[in-house]
Structure 1
């Protein structure tokens, strides 16, 4: 509210301090020497260290200088400089505080403890009062631009209400002048057809034209917001209704305070990051959505160590299937001992692996995961329980892919599945290596490789050039033997004995060319 009062105070100081000291008392600046601390909606629950890293640095690059200038006592500087006109215009820097007032009302609208209709009406009233207050100050400023002997050529100098005349208005008390200006500003904005301001000189005519045009936009804004309150279709109100239903559910089932807070924080985070959700693109064709996903997520997927060495087509398919999610500090992504059916990749933030040996023992931090690290790959690929708890250390953005979608992609690009298994085996313990090698996905990959080897041998035995090229292009290894110990080269030799030795060099060159390409 201090920002709001300062905003209302600034135009008045800018205008009414123009008059002499004897006739007009000077305004006073609120003693505020430091800019407000930066608050970002997505970093509302981070630690002090995370705030310094993620909140202070962007703030210093964006709004810090404007906030710092807005805190200067420009009215005192204006007096100290001998009331020079250019210095007085610097008072308009305080209008930047309007952003703080907007953030304040947005916070009130999301507070389910307050009535939404009441909050919106108060916000609309503040917008109307501030606009008319600023217009009243400008109306009076235009009148003061003329010298005292030409006061009759201004709207207030020529004003006469009943038997009361505003001639020599500079000698009238400040409160009466302000109320008069505010009255005509409000009546002109309402356009009731009576009591509107009458411009006398050219400057006043120009400003009245601009002001009336602005009033049409402001009136449409106010009426549109009132209609939206009646319809009850705004996203903020839907969020409030959803949050109220969640609170009723938690109270009815008597959930603990900790889990209740986690649920409310997560729902609030999903609302604040709604512009990053896939629902924004749901009306866009699937082909365009695929291109957008590749543009946004493919660089992160390509940098994941688990997918190192995989084909470009496989990376593109993974990038299309992932979904973006945000997690607050302290949220648990995977619980120790549970079966994971989703694989996560860290885009931004920090995630840590924690192991809790027994129920009463303290948690043991195992590993910190940063950008490009994967979460839950062992449980998803090996069908074993998660060996540790994965929780968020600071606000993080993760990419998620369902296990079913991953299995379907590996069914098509099974040669990349062998690369993934080899990457997963690097640096693992012997017990875990045996579980990885005995997993369903590994067996499924081996089954596909055996089938392709059999088909490759059949194509080589029959001399089918087209089928041979298609199978090798699908990822078959010409040097691999089937269940009977035969390789495609043996089948080619048998075929060449029948068809002639001139085919031996051609077939051998063809096989090895496909192998190395």
Structure 2
């Protein structure tokens, strides 16, 4: 039976390739959810290529050896390898590879099906595992790794919120789109009344601006919630931001203190 060593160059190369796709998928999934009705077709083709890559990775996982967490010995038994993967990440990985956008269109555009896109975020574990390996790697500065990780968390949260803000505006009936945060928006003489016709990257930038300003609780007042759904989401988002802000500030403070202690120790 075919068994693949986990340390083989081919396997490690595949892991790096899948990591790149996992990063892309983690950021693209919220965008596909929020901006589904206006995304360029070439992005969907790129997404399909990513799903194929993940399917190949699923198949590969049934053949790759692993180190037992108790005995610390490498496991070469094909049945044990397959059973371990089936019990852990197989079903989330398989559901993540389903063409939910195509299924969404096939069932007549039911929003409940569209929510299943979020299953793909199970791939984020590959990104978190990558950061964990970097933190343990003595060749890489620990403080640098932690700071990059914290910045990534903050950027990802605002990116996801931006996509949900736009989603809330596009799931109302078209005649009510003027009663949304973006449909009622005016920047000087420029109106967003027909926002669906505006370039997608301008719409995304506007949504991201709204998410960042809300997260920072700056409150310029140029963009604000208009209907009840938006108000409810902003209340949840700001409540979450308070927890996230405490987490980020706490971690940054701990890193600065640790860095100062290491510097003082080095100078003595």
TM-score (norm 1): 0.41
Give the drift of 1:96. Answer: 1.2
1:216 aligned residue? 242
Match in the other structure for 2:115: 89
Distance 1:43 1:50 in 2: 16
Task: Answer yes or no: is the 8 Å Cα contact 2:185–2:193 preserved in 1.
Answer: yes
Equivalence map 1:98-109=2 (5 Å): 98-109=124-135
Which residue of structure 1 aligns with residue 21 of structure 2? 2
- State the shift of 1:82 in Å: 4.1
Matched, 1:47 2:74: yes
The list of structure 1 runs, each at least 4 consecutive aligned residues, that deviate by more than 6 angstroms after superposition, is: 38-41
**Structure 1 residue aligned with 2:229:** 203
2:40 to 25, 34, 37: 25
Residue in 2 aligned with 1:115? 141
Gaps of 5+ in 1: 239-517
Query: Are 1:74 and 2:100 an aligned pair?
Result: yes
Shift of 1:152: 1.6
Q: Does the C-alpha gap of structure 1 residues 144 and 2 become closer, same or farther in structure 2, counting only changes over 3 Å?
A: same
* Structure having greater relative contact order (Cα 8 Å, sep ≥ 6): 2
Answer 1 or 2: which has greater strand percent: 1
- SS of residue paired to 2:76: helix
The answer to whether the 8 A contact 1:188-1:197 is kept is: no
Structure 1 CA distance for aligned equivalents of residues 256 and 192 of structure 2: 44
Q: Any conservation in 1 of the 2:185–2:223 contact (CA below 8 Å)? A: no
1:180 deviation in Å? 0.6
Higher-Rg member (1/2): 1
Q: What does residue 171 of structure 1 align with?
A: 197
Select the residue among 10, 13, 16 that pairs with 2:35. 16
Aligned equivalent of 2:9: none
1:450-461 mapped onto 2 (5 Å cutoff): none
Distance 1:43 1:114 in 2: 28
Deviation at 1:197, TM superposition (A): 4.1
**Superimposed CA distance per residue, residues 392-431 of structure 1 (whole angstroms, 9 cap, x where no aligned partner):** xxxxxxxxxxxxxxxxxxxxxxxxxxxxxxxxxxxxxxxx
| TM-score, normalised via structure 2 length | 0.77
Q: Are 2:187 and 1:161 equivalent residues in the alignment?
A: yes
Aligned length: 230
Name the CA shift for 1:226/1:41 in 2 (closer, same or farther; >3 Å): farther
Per-residue deviation at 1:43? 8.1
